[in-house]
Amino acid sequence: MSTFDPNALECLAAIMEEGGFERAAVRLSITQSAVSQRLRSLEVQVGTVLIVRSRPLKATSAGRFLLKHAMQMRLLRADLERDLKDLSPGLLGAGQEEERISIAINADSIATWALPALSELAKQGVGLEIITDDQDFTIEWLREGRVLGCVTTLKQALRSCKQVPLGAMNYVAVAEPTYAARHCPQGLSPLNFRDLSFVAFNRKDDLQSEFVERALQLKHVSLNQFYVPSSEGQVRAVLAGWGASVLPELQVRDHLQSGRLVNIAPDQVMPVELFWHCWNLESAVLDSLTRALTSASAWSLRHESAKK
């Protein structure tokens, strides 16, 4: 089997992560010409194109395999650095850019339970890069080999990966009291849901329509929606009276208790099951990530599910 130049592999990863050759050159502290040469040498060695020069850039099938290999090399280096630090504390500096461990997590988890779960690893110097995407789409980052693990709603493990159940995040429909009194004084119903505006995360976010369909036993509803691509931003928009929104109960609990928000469908809770997927590799860093996320979810998600 061919041995691939680690610098060329890291160059491929930098191009995809930075979204272009110029930014990859800046990150790697080399010229743009050198970036192109390293990629070209890798393509010659493999015998096929690795990146489609489109907007945005896209990795080919072969490119995705090599991206995954590049991520695995990062993981090996991160494991080695962790082991050497244990033997000789202070011998090595903080994790470098190429040793960063990339994971994909949905925005609602980042806004509630996931960051506290990863705090200890960050304090230990594990270089983390968190990619955010809709919980139904984070799995694509893992499938393409661009991250080492992801939090997703997909239950089935990908090939060469393992899956761990995290628990259910409970979602509720909320609105600012004045807005609710004007548009749905008796709560969400089949007669008034079309009069409400809903604050969604982005166009991938189908939680709003799914909740309404389940709560009102309707099919294929069409909603008037604003798009705010931030979990915290969605909450602020609802507090400002933009409209209603289906949000994690963990995130809006304090606002409900203080009366700043009201539950417009108090008998309805929509649980969304989450799973941690990661490559099935022997790695102390990956094992630490898995333990940190599953431990946090045991309280934040599973405990909440048990109360419902």
* Tens digits of residue pLDDT in 87-107: 655 544 444 444 678 899 999
> Do residues 40 and 77 lie in contact, with contact meaning Cβ atoms separated by under 8 Å?
no
The residues spanned by each domain of the chain are 1-94, 169-272
Residue 23 or 308, more confident: 23
Mean pLDDT value of segment 9-30: 90
> Do residues 113 and 151 lie in contact, with contact meaning Cβ atoms separated by under 8 Å?
no
Separation in Å, CA 178 to CA 93, 190, 254, 304: 54, 20, 18, 29
CA–CA distance, 141 with 124 (Å, rounded to integer)? 25
Continuous H helices in the chain = 6-18, 21-28, 32-46, 61-87, 107-109, 115-123, 138-143, 177-183, 207-216, 231-239, 249-258, 284-300, 302-307
> Do residues 288 and 121 lie in contact, with contact meaning Cβ atoms separated by under 8 Å?
yes
SS (H, E, C) 101-124: EEEEEEHHHHHHHHHHHHHHHHHC
Give the tens place of pLDDT for each residue, 195-233: 999 999 999 899 999 999 999 999 989 999 999 999 999
Continuous H helices in 157-283 = 177-183, 207-216, 231-239, 249-258
Band the pLDDT of 63: cuts 50, 70, 90: confident
Q: Which class would CATH give 169-272?
A: alpha beta
Please provide the CATH number assigned to the domain covering 1-94: 1.10.10.10
Helical packing angle, 115-123 and 284-300, nearest 10°: 150
Give the tens place of pLDDT for each residue, 276-299: 999 888 888 889 999 999 999 987
Strands 149-152 and 128-133: unpaired
Strands 58-59 and 51-52: antiparallel
